[in-house]
Each structure stands twice: as structure tokens, then as C-alpha cells.
Amino acid sequence: MPNRKACDVLVCGAGGFIGGWLVAELRSAGGLSIRAVDIKPLEQWYQLFEDVENLTLDLQDRAACERAVASGVREVYNLASNMGGIGFIEHNKALCMLSVLINTHLLMASREAEAQKYLFGSSACVYAADKQTESNVTALREEDAYPATPEDGYGWEKLFSERMCQHFTEDFGLHTCIARYHNVYGPHGTFDGGREKAPAAICRKVISAKLSGKHEIEIWGDGHQTRSFMYIGDCIKGTRLMIDRDIPGPLNIGSNELVSINQLVDIVEEIAGVRLKRRYNLRAPKGVNGRNSDNTRIQEIMGWQPSISLRDGMEKTYRWIYDKMSAER
């Protein structure tokens, strides 16, 4: 293997949504050498920066993880996984669980390379199902992940990987941080193809109805299921604060602005200036009935919580997707 320059920060999953935004933030901070890794070919990355060392590697393979952390990486961000919206994770449970190989091999390689900090991007899908049965849900505290009954497949992988991070800290002294993300959305993400999440999917459906003149929209479920959605800018700020302040977690990084899917459609319709006939597909995947983030701990520990309103974040997301879809037409 040829000699490679030392690297301050490694971002795994850099070709994805959160990873791409994190690389952009690290670049803007200045003074850091950054290595960006993703399984996708470079032309498929959501954001690509020429002044960063970009590598296409399958991090399910241990040798690829060893290559990724080579040359003295100090901070490792593991944002790499097979994931998507509820339709994807309900129909690809085994594929989602194979992401455990990424975290396992990356932890081992980071320990051997003597990385100083390791952040694992977890998910609110780790939370116990019996605490999410009502749309008027009580906000979820970090301890509500146990007794464990997470989302089948994807949620189990995330919860197991959280435990592995904690034990690598306890047994080997590798400093790990665990960020539990709640429904991250924003520009420069996927909005079609099956992996998109609700905010992007609803933007796409509303835009399609507006551009086609067919003023109707299909909604998965009855529309009463509730969620909180966090804008990508808040996600990146919370992630950086967490690793900069050496907070191990698990820690909720999510908005506590609870809305129903019907209310989310209302917001997008208002942004678009249209009203659509709603068709409810009760056979489609809809996930849990309610999920919200309890931000007590993040406020106590960091004196901060996500603050970008859903209306403001959706405006930016809608405009970006609209421009993309209009250009394609």
C-alpha cells in the first residue's frame, strides 16, 4: 500500500446524507485534514468535495476499515449503514442488520490505530415498541430503549452496535460517543427510489402533484401517526458539540416539535400553495404510532437542543427538491 498522509478526521458514510453535510461542516471549520469514505462510487455521492481525500470502500470488510483508519486518524465518525425510510427498513431487515459488520470492524480498526474519539450514529429506532403505541406519545428518554424491543432489523442493529461501542470504551479505553438521531431531513438527500424518509417523500409527492396538475396525494397509514423531524443543520451542530465535549451518550439528538403526518402534509401544501385530495393507503408501512424526542438530558449536559422549526426546515427542503424535480422535467 502506498504511503498516505496523516488524517485528522475520518467520516464513514460520507457519500450519504448526514455524512455529506458533516464533511461540509468540517471543511468550513478549517485546519483539518479529512478522509471521506463511502461504499458508493464517487459520482453517486450526495455531496463531493475535491479538497478532501475521498475513498470508495466497503466497510463491511475488516481490511477496508483498516485502510480507512490508517495514517493516524484522530476522530472517527461512523455514519455508514444500510438504511432508509420505513418502507425500506421494513422490507430489508437482513440487509439493515448486516451493518453491524461495519461498526464491528471499524471499532476494531480504530482501537488498533489508537484513534482518540469514535462517534456512532444511532437511531431513535432503538426505542422500545411498547412505548410508541399511541400517537399522543410521551417523549422518549434515553433510558426508554430498555427493556429492549426495538424496530425489527434496523433498530436491533443500532442497539447492538450501541452496546458494542460502550463495551469497547469499558474494556479497551476507546472513547466512544453515541448519538441517537431522530428523523433527520433537509436538502442534499434522497427524495425518491424507496430509501427516502417522510419529509422528502411528502415534498416529492406534493411537487409531483403540483407540476402534473393532478391534485391528489397518497399518504401511508391514516395520517394520525406522529413524529418529530430534525433539520440537518441542527443534526450536524449537535453531533459536533457531542464529540467536541467528549459526551459518551447515548444522547437524543432530535427535535421535540411533535406533528402528525397529516400536519406535515399541511405544512408542505402551504409552502407549495396547493391543496390536495388525500388518499390513505392503510396497507403501506407506517411504523410506530408515535415517536418524539425527550430533550431533557441534552439540555442539561450541553445547554443546547435542536431549534430550527419544522416550517423553516421544510421550506428549505421543499425548495431544493422542487429545483431538482423541475430540472429533471
Query: Are 141 and 201 part of one and the same domain?
Result: no
Q: What pLDDT score does 1 carry?
A: 35
| pLDDT tier for residue 5 given thresholds of 50, 70 and 90 | low
283: pLDDT strictly greater than 90: yes
Region 102-131 average pLDDT: 97
Contacts (Cβ under 8 Å, ≥6 apart) of 86: 197, 198, 220, 285, 286, 287
First and final C-alpha spacing in the chain: 45
Task: Report yes or no on 301 lying in a domain.
Answer: no
Give the span between the Cα atoms of 265 and 276, in whole angstroms.
9
Q: What pLDDT score does 2 carry?
A: 39
pTM above the 0.85 mark? Answer: yes
Region 99-108 average pLDDT: 98
Number of domains in the chain: 2
- Whether residue 154 lies in the annotated active site: yes
Q: Catalytic one among 118, 154, 185, 322?
A: 154
Q: What pLDDT score does 238 carry?
A: 98
Task: Report yes or no on 147 lying in a domain.
Answer: yes
Q: What is the 3-state secondary structure (H, E, C) of 217-233?
A: EEEECCCCCEEECEEHH
Query: Are 224 and 235 part of one and the same domain?
Result: no
- Domain range spanning residue 57? 9-184+230-253
197: pLDDT strictly greater than 50: yes
| pLDDT tier for residue 200 given thresholds of 50, 70 and 90 | very high
Task: Report yes or no on 196 lying in a domain.
Answer: yes
Query: Are 161 and 217 part of one and the same domain?
Result: no
Task: Report yes or no on 3 lying in a domain.
Answer: no
Computed over every residue of the chain, the mean pLDDT equals: 95
Q: What pLDDT score does 30 carry?
A: 85
Query: Are 239 and 224 part of one and the same domain?
Result: no
Instruction: List the CATH number of the domain containing 155.
Output: 3.40.50.720
4: pLDDT strictly greater than 60: no
b/e sequence 4-41, b meaning 16+ C-beta within 10 Å: eeebebbbbbbbbbbbbbbbebbeeeeeebbbbbbbee
60: pLDDT strictly greater than 50: yes
Task: Report yes or no on 320 lying in a domain.
Answer: yes
Reported as a single tens digit per residue, the pLDDT across 67-94 is 999 988 999 999 999 988 888 999 999 9
Give the span between the Cα atoms of 35 and 6, in whole angstroms.
10
Query: Are 109 and 137 part of one and the same domain?
Result: yes
